Amino acid sequence: MMEAYRVVFRERKGRLLTPAQFGCLEGIPALNITNGCLFRCTYCYARGYSQAPKEREVQLYGNLPNLLKEEIQRRRILPSWVVLNTSSDCFQTHPDILKVTYQTIQILLNHRIGVSFLTKGIIPQYFFDLFSQFQEKILPQIGLVSLSEDYWRRYEPGTPSPEERLKNIEEFKKIGIYPEIRIDPIVPFVTDREEEVNRLFKKLSELGIGRVTLSYLHLRPLIQKQFIEELSPFHQKLMEACFRLQEWRKVGSSTKTKLIPRPIREKGYERIKGIAERYGIKASICQCKNPDLQGDLCSSSRVRFLSKRKKATQIPLFRCG
C-alpha cells in the first residue's frame, strides 16, 4: 500500500484550536493530521471534498506540532478536549504520519488537553506508553463494522484487518482504558445480518467492551461514484436498491445526503441493540447521522458534555521555564 501512495508535506496555516460548528462536535476543536487518507475506504465521504488531494496522494501537515505549540503559547484559555480524525485517520501506516501524530498528541496531553479520536489503524506500542500516563484524558474509538473478511476486502481494502484492530482493544485494556467501538457504516443486508452481528458482539463482549455507537450507511454524490468504480456489480445493485427512492437532504454538515429508508434503519437498530444487550453491551444510535430518529449520547457527544462540565483550562500569564 505505501508503495502505491505518495505522502507529501503541506504547510498548515491559520488557527488550529477553532471550535467545530457541526453536529455533536459543535464547540469542540477538531484537528486532522493529514488531508486525505491512505486507507481510502469505499464509503469515505472525505474523498469527495473539493480540497481533497490528487488520486493516491496524502498531504501531511508536517508543521502542525510547531504551529500547535505556538498557538498554545499565545492563548490564555485552552480547550479541555480536542477531537482528532474528523476527515482522516492519524494512525495511517506511514512513519512520517505517525511521527507528527505522536508529537501532536504529546503536546496536547502535556497541556492537560484531552484527546478523543476514531481510528481503523494500528496504534504502535509507544503511543500506549504515552496514553498510560494520561488515562483520564484519552477517549478512543475503534472503527469496526464487521469481522467478515469479505466485507473488509470489499469496503475497507486499504485498512488494517479487523483482527489487527482488535489488538488495539487488548492493548488499551492493559493500560486501564476501555475504548468504545464505532460500528459505522452499517451496510444493510451485508453487515446487519444476524449471524454477522452476533459474531461481532460475541468477540467484543469477550474483550470487555461495554459501549458501541451505531450508524447506517449514508450516500453522497461522490460516494455513489466511488461505489460504481470500486464495488462489484452485485454490491452496486444492492446500494442502488437501498437508495433509489430516497430524497437528497441535509444531514450534519452535508447539504446533499441520502439516508437508508427509515423502516430499514429502525428495524436494524432495534435488532442490533437487542443482540448487543444480550452480550451486556450498550448500543447507542448516532443522532447526527440519524436526524429523523431518537438518538443517544454517542462518544463525540460525551466529549462535548465533558468539555461543558469542566471549564477550559486557564494558563498562567507568566510561564516558568
pLDDT in tens, 270-282: 999 999 999 999 9
Share of the chain above pLDDT 90, in %: 77
User: What would the pLDDT profile of 192-201 be if each residue is shown by its tens digit?
Assistant: 999 999 999 9
The predicted structure's pLDDT at residue 300: 60
The predicted structure's pLDDT at residue 288: 84
The predicted structure's pLDDT at residue 17: 94
User: What would the pLDDT profile of 218-243 be if each residue is shown by its tens digit?
Assistant: 999 989 999 999 999 999 999 999 99
Bridge partners for 58 per DSSP = 7
The predicted structure's pLDDT at residue 95: 97
In angstroms, the CA 110 to CA 112 distance is 5
In angstroms, the CA 199 to CA 317 distance is 54
Per the CB < 8 A criterion, the answer to whether 268 and 186 are in contact is: yes
The predicted structure's pLDDT at residue 299: 59
More confident residue, 252 or 145: 145
Per the CB < 8 A criterion, the answer to whether 175 and 144 are in contact is: no
The predicted structure's pLDDT at residue 74: 94
CA quadruple 136, 35, 255, 259: dihedral sign:
negative
Residue 111, pLDDT above cutoff 90? yes
Residue 320, pLDDT above cutoff 60? no
Beta strands (DSSP E) in the chain are: 6-9, 30-31, 34-35, 57-60, 77-78, 81-84, 114-119, 138-143, 180-186, 211-216, 218-219, 249-251, 254-259, 282-285, 313-314
How confident is residue 54, by pLDDT bands cut at 50, 70 and 90? confident
User: What would the pLDDT profile of 163-205 be if each residue is shown by its tens digit?
Assistant: 999 999 999 999 999 999 999 999 999 999 999 999 999 999 9
Average pLDDT of span 235-263: 91
Let me know the angle formed at the C-alpha of 101 by 100 and 102, rounded to the nearest 5 degrees. Answer: 90
Residue 7, pLDDT above cutoff 60? yes
> What are the structural domains of the chain?
6-314 (3.20.20.70)
How confident is residue 20, by pLDDT bands cut at 50, 70 and 90? confident
Q: What is the 3-state secondary structure (H, E, C) of 49-79?
A: CCCCCCCCEEEECCCHHHHHHHHHHHCCEEC
Residue 49, pLDDT above cutoff 90? no
Residue 316, pLDDT above cutoff 90? no
Entry pTM = 0.91
Residue 321, pLDDT above cutoff 50? no
Residue 41, Cβ density class (10 Å: 0-12 exposed, 13-18 middle, ≥19 buried): buried
The predicted structure's pLDDT at residue 319: 40
The predicted structure's pLDDT at residue 1: 42
